[in-house]
Chain A
Amino acid sequence: MIAIRQHFTKKSACLLITLALFLLLFFRFALALSFPDTSWEIRKDDKIKIGVYFPVIQKFEAGKNNLSRINILFGKSDAISGKFSLEVYDENCSRLLREKSVPFQTLSSDSTYDFAFSKIKDSKNKTYCLKLFFTPKNEKMKNPYVFIVDNSRPENKSLFDSGEKQEYPGKSLSFRPAYKNDSWWQDFKELDQRISQYKPWFLKQYYLAILFVLAIILSIGLVVILIV
């Protein structure tokens, strides 16, 4: 009886941990789900250095509510490591609203670095001030580069390098803001919408959603049954 109890406890513990890990995975995915505004182009037109104590300051107008992420493209380097910190201020760069740090070992210019934070609910048509800092792993490291692009759209307010004390009119960081919806349900719906595009009817909308639900249930169900 004691052996059965022990056996049951170990299996139960394993099962609970596994389910908790799956839940954590999906929960994190749901939290991280936000949709970049692809009207902001990410390109490699030019680049500027980011100083250690002097941030690059970008002002822009958010196009939607629930601003929750800024994706930025940096220049490639294998010799620089440290962390980038992004601070989100109000229009006057005085009131800190959000901040996020992203550590790195090397820099890739093939994909953006994503600064995610809790959503700013009423962000639509409001101007925000982004301050981008770099903290090196050790003092002797060179400064990294961030890409900037020609950007004449009215939502791009200004770009200022506080290290070089230089303004860049008509240019912006090579960045993209991303927004969440009002609820996680709407987030999943928008993801379903995006995946459904350029797919045949049997891989769209409700069919796609049912497919995903079945895939998840059967996969987790299988793992649970094999543990038990």
Chain B
Amino acid sequence: MVKNQFSKDFYKKPGFILSLILLGFFFREVALAAIFPIFNGQDESRHYNTVQFLNEPEEKNWIIREKPQAEQEKERLETYNYSDEIKQTAVATGTQATRGAHYEKMDFANSYVGKNEEEINMRKWDPYNKDPHPDTAGISKKSLYHFLALQIEKFFSQESILVRFFSIRVFSVLLGTITIFLFYLLIKNTGFSKKESLLMAAIISFQPKLSTYLTNINYDALLILLFALFALGGVLSLKEGINWKNLSIMISAAILGLFTKGTGIVLAGVFFGLVIYHTYKKIKEKKWGKRHILACSVLIIMALAAIHLKFNLINLVTCQGEGAFTGMAASAGNYLSSSLPKIKSSSENYWGNLDWRNNNYPELFIRIIWITEFFALVGLFLYFKNKKKPDFLPEKKYILFFIGIIIALQTGVRFYDWKIYTRFGSLELGTPGRYFLPSIAAHFILVFTGIGALLKNRNYFKNSLIIGLILMSMFFMVTVLNIIIPDYYL
């Protein structure tokens, strides 16, 4: 009887369940990392080439070709300005088939070893870029993600590219696992109970696009973690008031975010918003005087100056040259007419690459999701309209903070997309759904708060989370078993 009680209590403990969420996520993700063939992640070949480029000796004592070997073709990585090792490995592994149309398949051997695998493991090809203007990702020399991935590349430098490449994928998975943990802390500190927080963290961990994206070699794996860390700092500041602990969490997340990817600048914007909010609150409570306001203002100006030195803020927010203002207005109009029709596909591929196969399962799940989000929106409207909120839901300040993060990210991504549009005259970058994954926790918190506001009953709310977990885990399994595995292997 005592032993049964102990067993019963043990599996209900939040610590145990959290460990299960994190372990389950980790193993699921590593399995997914194995399912995706080499170079098949989003922009993965470019990011891996960035790591190899950073690993090259300072002195390039090999011949750099005067011009690229071939004109670039999307499916053929050997036509990109990548290292010889990446190019030859792409040819040897049949990457053209896996990146091409969905009816193309790799040429499989009848064994556990690919037809050209031994040749790849012989390491005959130089991991050096020999074409002019190597194809690297973003702020390659200063991206924190690439710097960390570089250490793994160096550590396994004597191993085959297969070991190095997939080890870096496992590193991305590790970052993802930490992110899920941060999501749990974030949700719990927003005011949900431990059980509800575990349910929501588990639901997010099964989100198909997030799951597949976090297996890739891509700096977004670190950016999503830093967004979660920043949001946690922000929530703690709203909960406890601003103190050195939550200030240092937010500042370090924002700075590391800036050193990871340009999108990190969004965190700086949200941070300033929070500083203004806290300053206003302190003034209202008569806890801060003029010297505090002066100190804050000086800090903000210093931070803006530091960001300007890195990003050239003036260039970032304006168009240059004659007729710039009218040009901006016209360009904004053209941009909106080009990009607005793509919002539907962007919100679809936020959930996964669901159009790979000719079946209707994904459409069914997407419809359920959109209907749920519609009701959540109605719920959020009621939540803000009513003076009194259900006691199991977070306070309004947290919800406003999450709305702020989402708006900031949407604005930042679309603004940058517009800047590229003005430069090239077309949607060269676009706004695929994955660009909005950094605010996924905020998104889910808003959805479930809206649902909770409609249901008004704690038990019903918990049951809705359980249903959400069942559906999301099913959605994930359908994506892997019905779409991803058949696409590559069957």
**Which A positions have Cβ atoms within 8 angstroms of B?**
14, 18, 21-22, 25-26, 29, 32-36, 38, 42, 71, 73, 104, 108, 110-114, 178, 191-205, 208, 211-212, 214-215, 218-219, 221-223, 225-228
Contact = CB atoms under 8 A, between A and B. Distances in A.
Interface residues of B, number: 60
A199 B162 contact: yes
B34 A178 contact: no
Contact of A223 (B106, B112, B473): B473
Contact of A215 (B20, B24, B102, B356): B24
Nearest to B104: A42
14 contacts: A26-B481, A32-B490, A38-B108, A73-B103, A104-B358, A110-B102, A110-B103, A191-B485, A193-B112, A197-B109, A211-B34, A212-B31, A223-B202, A226-B469
Given A73-B103, A208-B34, A18 B162 contact: no
A177 B100 CA distance: 20
Contacts of A202: 166
A116 B490 CA distance: 12
Contacts, number: 142
A228 B11 CA distance: 10
B28 A215 contact: yes
B21 interface: yes
Interface stretch (B113-121, B301-309, B449-457): B113-121
A71 B487 CA distance: 12
A198 B292 CA distance: 60
Given A35-B490, A219-B24, A219-B206, 17 more contacts: A25-B481, A36-B105, A111-B357, A191-B490, A194-B108, A196-B112, A197-B109, A198-B162, A202-B166, A208-B34, A214-B27, A215-B31, A218-B20, A218-B27, A222-B20, A222-B24, A226-B469
A218 B28 contact: yes
Nearest to A113: B358
B17 A225 contact: yes
A40 B300 CA distance: 65
B250 interface: no
A14 B117 CA distance: 47
B466 A14 contact: yes
B198 interface: yes
Contacts of B23: 218
Interface in B109-135: 109-114, 117, 120
B167 interface: yes
Contact of A219 (B30, B166, B473): B473
Contacts of B489: 191, 194-195
Contacts of B34: 195, 199, 203, 208, 211
A40 B9 CA distance: 57
Nearest to A192: B112
B477 interface: yes
Q: Which 10 A-B pairs have the closest CB atoms?
A: A218-B24, A111-B102, A197-B114, A203-B34, A215-B27, A196-B112, A200-B163, A215-B28, A198-B114, A29-B481
A197 B104 contact: no
B407 interface: no
B466 A226 contact: yes
A200 B167 contact: yes
B31 A211 contact: yes
B37 interface: yes
B103 A198 contact: no
A195 B484 CA distance: 12
A136 B278 CA distance: 65
Contacts of A29: 481-482, 485
A226 B103 contact: no
Contacts of B296: none
A223 B38 CA distance: 31
A21 B474 contact: yes
Contacts of B356: 111
B400 interface: no
Contacts of B112: 192-193, 196-197, 204-205
